Structure 1
Amino acid sequence: MTTWDTPGKYLELPAIWGRSQNKALAWIEEKIMNKLEGWKERLLNQAGKEILIKAVIQAMPSYIMNVIKLPKSFCRRICAKVARFWWAASGKERGIHWKKWESITESKSNGGLGFKDLENQNLAYLAKQAWRVLKNPNAIWVQTLKSIYFPDGNFWTASGKKGASWIWRSLL
């Protein structure tokens, strides 16, 4: 019988999660940092940075945000790294942050740049999943959740019982 030292990944997610959520998500943070460091700030103008941030960096955690609620500290760290990249003049120098991150995440029509606020985006994705639980009660994955977490009730009365999965706790 063969055994695994490291179980690997399935759909870019670790097959086994540890107890520490931040530790479990470290691989996303590392991938984002590798992308940011791969592009030198001096090679991209502001328009190029905007495209890189919107199309690559903010899209990387999208799949996992559909499944689990990211810790606020994790979202803040990612946003801080993106802001540092956005405002940096050249190389590793720190740039002056001329506007708050909250104002940059506003839509362009409201004077922002339209960058995603990861916390709000994460909640929107999870609300979509909760809606799918309510609208597709016959889906296999919904029936599985129902049999485990709310066998005698409905989604609205379900609670996060002790030992519930990170995915289930994220939906509540």
Structure 2
Amino acid sequence: MANYLSYKQGTFPFKNLGLLVGANMNRVRDWNSVIEIFKNCLSLWKAKMLSYGGRITLITSVVNSLPTYYFSLYKAPIQVLDSLDKIRRVFFWGGSEEKAKMNWVTWDKTIAPIEYGVLGFGSLRDANLAMLAKWWWRFETEKEVLWRRVVWAIHHNPRAWSDISVKIYVPGPWKNIISTRQAL
């Protein structure tokens, strides 16, 4: 078909809007581009030049939104979430990967909501689960949209008891979305 339309035939995986298409996002190495974006945005020289207030602003307004595009389709492996949290933690406290600075507050309290009297950085794991759970909600409420009909046609099993079915042998993001059921 590519030859017929005079297009160049590509290969998988490829990048589209910064997202790897055709890659197995269950592998940690396929998340390296997200980790590199984090590292570049939160470089050590920026931490030394900014006050704590500046670091808080950078983390909450910019960095927390960087992985949103990935998190909305793929369940991030635990190693990736730990790596991203480590980058945020080291940047906030002004240390480096080689030499850590003293942490005045535990990280669990740092990521807790502001209503609890802490910094409110937010949990990347919770953000990932919330974005994947949104697809469940959209699947149940938007009955006539094209993407829902495609997922239904691929994964529907009339003999299944589940309200949202998934065929285990069919690869893709829908399996990750359904796998969040146990976490929620």
The one of 135, 138, 142 aligned to 1:132? 138
Contact 2:111 2:120 in 1 (8 A): yes
Which of 106, 113, 116 does residue 112 from structure 2 map onto? 106
For 1:77, the equivalent position in structure 2 comes to 83
Distance 1:51 1:19 in 2: 29
> What are the equivalent positions in structure 2 for 1:21-40 lying under 5 Å apart?
21-37=27-43, 39-40=45-46
Aligned ranges for residues 1-80 of structure 1 at < 5 Å?
Answer: 2-4=8-10, 8-18=14-24, 21-37=27-43, 39-80=45-86
Q: 1:163 aligns with which of 159, 166, 170?
A: 170
Whole-Å separation in 1 of the counterparts to 2:32 and 2:95: 27
Contact 2:26 2:77 (C-alpha < 8 Å) held by counterparts? no
Amino acid at match of 2:119: L
Q: What is the correspondence of 1:83-98 to structure 2 with a 5 Å cutoff?
A: 83-88=89-94, 93-98=99-104
With over 3 angstroms needed to count, the CA separation of the structure-2 counterparts of 1:155 and 1:143, relative to structure 1, is farther
8 Å CA contact 2:25, 2:31 repeated in 1: no
The change in CA–CA distance for 1:94 and 1:38 in structure 2 (over 3 A counts) is closer
- Asked if the contact 1:42/1:91 (under 8 Å) is kept, the reply is no
User: C-alpha root-mean-square deviation of aligned residues, in Å?
Assistant: 2.4
Distance across 2 between alignment mates of 1:91 and 1:161: 39
Q: Residues 130, 90 of structure 1: CA spacing in aligned structure 2 closer, same or farther, 3 A cutoff?
A: closer
| Separation (CA, whole Å) in 1 of partners of 2:10 and 2:108 | 44
Distance 1:90 1:162, change over 3 A: closer
- CA distance, structure 2, for counterparts of residue 169 and residue 49 of structure 1: 36
Paired AA for residue 158 in structure 1? S
TM-score (norm 2): 0.82
Report the more deviating stretch, 91-100 or 24-33: 91-100
Q: In 1, are the aligned partners of 2:90 and 2:96 still within 8 Å (CA)?
A: no
Give 1:125's aligned amino acid: M
Unaligned ranges ≥5, structure 1: none
Moved more, 30-39 or 45-54: 30-39
Identity of aligned residues (%): 23
The count of residues paired between Structure 1 and Structure 2 equals 171
| Change over 3 Å in CA distance of 1:18–1:97 after alignment to 2 | same
Letter in 2 for 1:134: E
Structure 2 CA distance, aligned partners of 1:90 and 1:22? Answer: 22
Task: Say whether residues 1:143 and 2:135 are aligned partners.
Answer: no
Counterpart amino acid of residue 23 in structure 2: W
